[in-house]
């Protein structure tokens, strides 16, 4: 029993920072996770007892700070208690598998799956940074994944509390440096920009199958590689390539803010692409079709009647009737292309539809125009452009206007070209983004559009 309240049920994990237990909160009748922190053990060091006491106090302080963060993509810290003078974190229990275990089993993941995981983790980190909380130890082992696709980040504040994720006073590395930011590897303090790098390194590992700087038993050599900031460019990142490159920039000032990362990942992520039914035929098109069919029926009836009269007259030896070809009315030729209206223009025959409605708009051109008009609004007219996204697109890519604005706030210009219709209400286009800080990115996307209120809305993007 821990703190006369938590009954230990089973040990579910252990690592450099502590042992994790599944436990029952007997006061609130709920299952929780307890993390018993391992404090630095430095026998023979000057004031070893003082170091342990300081680490314990820091653990309590950092744990209570982490408990202030509540986010659906972060493991919640409920409380911090002590057991035999050792701090114990009481946390949300999530039946899950860590991303590290998934990668050990599968090797690497697809870019779309990684984007979906990263979007959730980035959202949690953005909320933490807004509250002044820095994680300091983002890595695959701290990303927990449930069977239904939910990803949550664990161990908020624990790395700082237990002294992990930094160089110790003796130069020994506590924990793995594979996901360190270069400035941290050089001994500088971690901040929110370091979290951006560590999340980028985690996502890089997920799509490439290994961390950016590799792994190895010689942690000092690994630290040296990390400190240089040089790594092989990603080969399997697909739509994540540009974002990962910016997140892993050796210069902390050049990295995007975590809120912008979350917004861009939300735009990249698509839960499931649905093949939509073709757009309904406009009412005007149906009317024109019915009119054409009616004219054809009338022509056939007249032709049949003329043939019958000819046959009857021949049977009664009456003078020959002129050939049918001369007496049978022909279908009216299609109306000419609409001409500019003038006061002297002759109105069309009453049997033909008005020239202005005889040619329905080209649906392919309407789709191309919709995509072109959308990008023509960006990045200056965000509110109007946001209104050209369907509710489904907003929910999948930009659930709030704030996240949408955060993404486009990084851009100074955008150009779209080579727009082509590729299928049922689908359009492909090349988009060139110019970033406010300099540099451009060229991407090819496929869009699905849906009709709504007399205009086309973008419903998905790949």
**Residue 6 and residue 90: Cα distance in Å, rounded?**
9
3-state secondary structure string across the chain: CECCCEEEEEEEEEECCEEEEEEEECCCCEEEEEEEECCCCCCCCCCHHHHHHHHHHHHHHHHHHHCCCCCCCECCEEEEEEECCEEEEEEECCCCEEHHHHHHHHCCCCHHHHHHHHHHHHHHHHHHHHCCCCCCCCCHHHEEECCCCCEEECCCCHHHHHCCCCECCCCCECCCCCCCCHHHHCCCCCCHHHHHHHHHHHHHHHHHCCCCCCCCCCHHHHHHHHHHCCCCCCCCCHHHHHHHHHHCCCCHHHCCCHHHHHHHHHHHCCCCCCCCCCCCCCHHHHHHHHHHHHHHHHHHHHHHHHHHHHHHHHHCCCCCCCCHHHHCCCCCCCCCCCCCCCCCCCCCCCCCCCHHHCCCCCHHHHHHHHHHHHHHCCCCCHHHHHCCECHHHHHHHCCCHHHHHHHHCCEEEEEEEEEEEEECCEEEEEEEEEECCCCEEEEEEEEEEEEECCEEEEEEEC
- Which residues are documented as binding site? 35
- Which residues are documented as binding site for ATP? 35
The DSSP bridge partners found for residue 315 are: none
Class of 363-461 in CATH: alpha beta
Q: Would you say the pTM of this structure is higher than 0.85? A: no
Closest CA to 336 of 365, 360, 358: 358
**Residue 157 and residue 136: Cα distance in Å, rounded?**
8
Please report the pLDDT score of residue 83 as a whole number.
86
What CATH architecture does domain 6-268 belong to? Orthogonal Bundle (1.10)
What are the structural domain ranges in the chain? 6-268, 363-461
**Residue 215 and residue 212: Cα distance in Å, rounded?**
9
Give yes or no on whether 6-268 and 363-461 have one common fold. Answer: no
Place of tokens 């033909």: 352
Cis peptide leading into residue 23 (ω within 30°): no
Please report the pLDDT score of residue 61 as a whole number.
75
Active-site positions read 137
Is the Cβ–Cβ distance between 168 and 51 less than 8 Å? no
Q: Can you give the pLDDT of all 462 residues of the chain as single tens digits?
A: 998 999 999 998 877 667 899 999 999 999 999 988 776 555 555 555 666 677 677 777 777 777 888 899 999 989 888 888 788 889 999 999 999 999 999 999 999 999 999 999 999 999 999 988 899 899 999 999 998 889 999 987 555 544 444 444 434 444 468 999 999 999 998 999 999 999 999 999 999 999 999 987 688 889 999 999 999 999 999 999 999 999 999 999 999 999 999 999 999 885 433 333 344 444 444 555 555 555 555 555 555 554 444 445 554 444 444 444 444 444 544 545 544 444 444 445 544 455 444 445 678 889 999 999 999 999 888 889 999 999 888 877 777 787 788 788 888 889 999 999 988 889 999 998 888 777 778 888 889 999 998 899 999 888
Is the Cβ–Cβ distance between 197 and 255 less than 8 Å? yes
């Amino acid at each position: 029993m821990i703190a006369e309240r938590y009954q230990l049920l089973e040990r579910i994990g252990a690592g450099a920072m502590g042992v994790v237990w599944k436990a029952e909160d007997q006061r609130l009748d709920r299952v929780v996770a307890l993390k018993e922190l391992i404090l630095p053990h430095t026998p023979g060091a000057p004031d070893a007892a003082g170091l342990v006491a300081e680490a314990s106090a820091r653990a309590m302080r950092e744990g209570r700070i982490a408990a202030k963060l509540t986010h659906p993509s972060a493991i919640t810290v409920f409380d911090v208690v002590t057991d035999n003078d050792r701090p114990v974190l009481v946390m949300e229990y999530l039946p899950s598998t860590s991303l590290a275990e998934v990668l050990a089993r599968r090797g690497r993941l697809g870019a779309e799956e990684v984007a979906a995981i990263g979007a959730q983790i980035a959202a949690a980190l953005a909320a933490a940074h807004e509250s002044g909380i820095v994680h300091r130890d983002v890595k695959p082992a701290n990303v927990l994944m449930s069977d239904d696709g939910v990803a949550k980040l664990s161990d908020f504040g624990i790395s700082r509390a237990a002294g992990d994720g930094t160089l110790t006073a003796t130069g020994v590395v506590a924990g793995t440096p594979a996901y360190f930011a270069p400035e941290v590897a050089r001994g500088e303090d971690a901040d929110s920009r370091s979290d951006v790098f560590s999340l980028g390194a985690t996502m890089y590992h997920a799509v490439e199958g290994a961390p950016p700087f590799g792994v190895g038993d010689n942690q000092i050599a690994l630290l040296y590689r990390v400190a240089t900031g040089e790594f092989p460019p990603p080969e399997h990142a697909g739509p994540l390539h540009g974002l990962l490159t910016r997140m892993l920039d050796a210069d902390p000032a050049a990295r995007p803010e975590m809120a912008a990362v979350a917004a861009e990942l939300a735009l990249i992520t698509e839960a499931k692409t649905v093949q939509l039914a073709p757009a309904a035929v406009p009412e005007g098109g149906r009317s024109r079709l019915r009119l054409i069919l009616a004219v054809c029926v009338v022509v056939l009836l007249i032709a049949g009647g003329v043939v019958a009269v000819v046959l009857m007259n021949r049977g009664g030896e009456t003078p020959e009737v002129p050939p049918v070809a001369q007496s049978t009315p022909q279908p009216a030729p299609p109306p000419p292309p609409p001409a500019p209206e003038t006061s002297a223009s002759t109105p069309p025959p009453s049997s033909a539809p008005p020239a202005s409605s005889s040619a329905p708009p080209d649906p392919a051109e309407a789709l191309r125009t919709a995509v072109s008009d959308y990008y023509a609004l960006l990045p200056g007219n965000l509110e109007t452009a946001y209104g050209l996204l369907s509710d489904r697109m907003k929910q999948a890519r930009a659930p709030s206007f704030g996240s949408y604005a955060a993404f486009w706030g990084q851009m100074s210009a955008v150009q779209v070209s080579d727009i082509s219709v590729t299928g049922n209400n689908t359009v492909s286009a090349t988009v060139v983004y110019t970033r406010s800080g300099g540099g451009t990115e060229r991407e090819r996307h496929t869009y699905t559009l849906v009709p709504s209120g007399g205009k086309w809305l973008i419903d998905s993007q790949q």
